[in-house]
Amino acid sequence: MTTGIETTEGTEERIFEAARKVFARKGRDGARMQEIADEAGINRALLHYYFRSKQGLFEAVFAHMFEQYMRSFDAVLEPGQPFPELLRRFVDHYIDYAIEHEDMIRLMMGENLRGASILGEALAAAKHSESSLPNRIEHAIRAAIHSGEIREVDPSHTLLTIVSACIHFIVMKPTVQAMNPDAEADFSAFTEARKQHITDLLLLGMQPVEVAS
């Protein structure tokens, strides 16, 4: 009944998956090679056989997660949508993804706190590629301004504000829950309410200004 495929499944992949879990749980510094080895069902030496060092393992894992993260937005950014619809879908997806992959969000934040040297290549690439996520969104904002759907906002700051509103409450979850009974009782409901709040507030805030009476 064995397919012959699942039996071995590559030690390297097992290590990679184990590392992903442990780094996510404990962070880059907090993670222990022993724990990764245990999770993968092998011993420490093999970790160094496949990936040279802890740093090497982390970089491999991080790069992979970051790419998945970026790709996850592809479906959301279909062209030709009215701006309010685009914003609503973007916020929905961003928050859903961030909740489901809280690990990734926390790792990314951790790297930023340490100076984000590891993000260097990925971000530099994003900056100069016209098809990168941030560039595509800023482009959509400019298009909406041009078509009169929204007023003349600064695209960079607006994107930053949207992202902040979607992510920050997850990174600050302990504080948010400590200060907010609703969030502590039912974080999932709190999250849904938050999507609505963000979309409403930002759409209103970006409303075109009416031309004098």
User: Using CB under 8 A, which of the segments 32-40, 55-63, 80-88, 108-116 binds its own copies?
Assistant: 108-116
Shortest spacing between CB 55 and DNA, in angstroms: 6
DSSP alpha helices (H): ranges in 41-180? 44-50, 54-71, 83-100, 102-113, 120-128, 133-146, 155-171, 173-179
Using CA atoms, how far residue 53 sits from 16, 27, 46, 48, in Å, is: 13, 16, 11, 6
Residues with Cβ within 8 Å of 161's Cβ and at least 6 positions away in sequence, in order, are 202
- Cα 153 from Cα 141, distance rounded (Å): 8
**Residue 205 Cα to chain centre, angstroms:** 24
Query: Please, which of residues 136-175 interact with its own copies by CB under 8 A?
Result: 153-154, 156-158, 160-161, 163-165, 167-169, 171-175
Which tokens belong to 132? 């990168």
x-or-dash string of contact with DNA, 20-49, rule CB under 7 A: -----------xxxx-------xxxxx-xx
Instruction: Check binding of 71 to its own copies (CB under 8 A).
Output: no
Q: 15 or 91, CB closer to its own copies? A: 91
For its own copies, the binding residues (CB under 8 A) are 27, 29-30, 106, 108-116, 119-120, 123-124, 126-127, 134, 153-154, 156-158, 160-161, 163-165, 167-169, 171-176, 178-180, 182-183, 193-194, 197-198, 200-207
